[in-house]
Structure 1
């Protein structure tokens, strides 16, 4: 069955906690808004939560959606990817944001709240993950290959003038400042994506399996969510972290070694990485989760990328819920929605092919 989360209608209309029918007055403009000559009839509230990496984009989407549909509201809590998936599977959220796809066990669990086809992923927010640092006196982009990045984050390289860093940055006056690694303390899809890259691209240097939690045997500083690690790094001379590139503020970033050259992050390189990656198999027919190629040697590719998913049910409890969620999903993947998010958050807009695939996947949302 579909999630038992109520849609609370605007104004005086209310639904029961188990999800009653929402029947807006389709003949009254008081229940809608003029939008391109059409009256919006959507009314209700969507509660959702998940990855903090896409919080800026989600804020833009929810505000713009409310302007198009004044009686519809979307509330998004940036509780982290793990918290978002957990809330979604428990029925607390009508959709989740996650920097990592559900595993097979989570997908099977989603059938309890999303009907026989379970949930599906749409990579609505694509962004590079920056390896960001704050070193007094170093105001330029540094080069590092995958092995060097892994040794830094593993605590094996402990000062900024270490030979492994210096030899890749001729002409840069590197201080002997100690390196302070800052990682996420919460279960994070950004951590999972970053450790996937280290595990795939750094060979035996990174011995830990990819995971949403940071390896417990690596001693380092930690902070909650993207804003926390960026703030801690900004306040600490010699600090280095990993974070959604759109949210690193004034921090410097690493150009990553790929195929004999050093590639800085860019939106286009991130989008191409997702578009060229194979799909995850064995879940919903309309699933768009991908297996990213982390150790690519393709020229100009930036392999530390996250595809932050919006995870939706294929089947919701009633037509009103399905209509509202479908409308929001359609907006965020639309050309207008993707451009708005890109301007606000710096992410990479979906390519035309990915957008068409996403629109088809979303069109299959139905009521149980």
Structure 2
């Protein structure tokens, strides 16, 4: 046999193998929370190393937009920092929603020359975002920061412009600690902000903050660190000023153990005074997954990815400032995952 036919045969076999390999690849698409994007990116990277035939694309477009894409059926899963209410669940095809991580909503700021972390009481924070506290030398802020020289500068508030679960968590906190906020603004993925400039996504908020001396806003901790922005210590119900960390978020989760065992949608903001080391603006984040789908291979791959997140992926969370899920919540998640079906049939 001549070399030419052999080479042609080998090329043909290689092409057939490549085609077969591609045909076995499963592509999953997700979208939603910018808050969870740093750890989601790592989860995808880690999972893909051991599952090369499963390709996962996650779009960090905000919780509200992610929920809408799940509702429209254009993604395989969504992520939101705010769980769906019963009425929202009733308005869409059956889904399961499970907590997959938790983290602090950080208050970050741009105050050149301030060499120690800013401290803020609940009253000061609510006043800033209500627009009733307008300067950094307001007596309420100086009382939170004894011995600290604050700048003679107006406060520039930066908030999310898009529908955001991070906004939901932050405004849930403000509603819990301020009757004025609860009455005038309330809580939700989107609210009518009394003051401030909007940024799209956590990326947009950090971008506005970096270029605006005197600004203050709220983001996930990794975004603040990646942009070299400081984060404030917030006074909790025990009277302690607490920095946002994975550990202080875990303390907040532990303060709500009983309530979370009954309903994982329970907010974990403003923990009671006995949780002395708990950060007061923390949130669980959620995956929102259609219960059924037509593609059995895709559904099996999706279940495998979510099982990884709940299991080994939790150790990854702690390296990126997220708090690992407690065992009770992980057990709840696994029970919910068993409800996933393909063409109405249970997944193996």
TM over 0.5, shorter chain: yes
For the pair 1:327 / 2:309, whether they are aligned, the reply is no
Q: Given that residues 202 and 219 in structure 2 are in contact (C-alpha distance below 8 angstroms), is that contact kept between their aligned partners in structure 1?
A: yes
**Superposition map of 1:64-143 within 5 A:** 64-110=46-92, 112=93, 118-143=94-119
Which string of whole-angstrom CA distances, capped at 9 and with x for unpartnered residues, describes residues 244-303 of structure 1? 12211222222111122212212122134335252498xxxxx74333353532311112
Counterparts of 1:104-253 in structure 2, within 5 Å, are 104-110=86-92, 112=93, 118-206=94-182, 207-216=184-193, 218-249=194-225, 250-253=228-231
Deviation string, structure 1 residues 318-340 (Cα, Å, up to 9, x no partner): 42232111001001111x21222
* Counterparts of residues 3-82 of structure 1 (less than 5 Å): 12=19, 43-82=25-64
Q: Which has the larger displacement, 265-274 or 60-69?
A: 265-274
Name the SS for the 2:247 alignment partner.
helix
Q: Is the 8 A contact 1:280 1:289 kept in 2?
A: no
Distance 1:121 1:139 in 2: 42
1:306 to partner: Cα distance: 1.8
Deviating 4+ runs (over 4 angstroms): 10-13
Partner of 1:354: 329
Residue of 261, 285, 309 corresponding to 2:240 = 261
Per-residue Cα deviation, 1:90-127 (whole angstroms, up to 9, x for no partner): 100111010111122321133x3xxxxx2122211210
Matches within 5 A, 1:263-342: 263-275=242-254, 276=256, 278-279=259-260, 288-294=264-270, 296-297=272-273, 298-334=275-311, 336-342=312-318
Could you report, residue by residue, the CA deviation over 1:67-88 in whole angstroms, capped at 9, with x for unpaired residues?
1111111111111000000000
Contact 2:101 2:323 in 1 (8 A): yes
Q: Per-residue CA shift, 1:30-66, capped at 9, x if unaligned?
A: 689xxxxxxxxx7401111001111111111111111
- Hey, what's the Cα distance between the residues in 2 that align with 1:271 and 1:12? 47
- Measured in 2, the distance between the counterparts of 1:95 and 1:331 equals 15
The answer (yes or no) to whether the contact 1:196–1:294 under 8 Å persists in 2 is no
- TM-score, length basis structure 1: 0.81
Tell which deviates more after alignment, 265-274 or 70-79.
Answer: 265-274
Seen in structure 2, the aligned counterparts of structure 1 residues 153 and 255 have a Cα distance that, compared at 3 Å, is same
Aligned residues: 320
Larger radius of gyration: 2
Q: 1:11 to 1:139 in 2, by over 3 A?
A: farther
The answer for unaligned runs of 5 or more in structure 2 is: 1-16
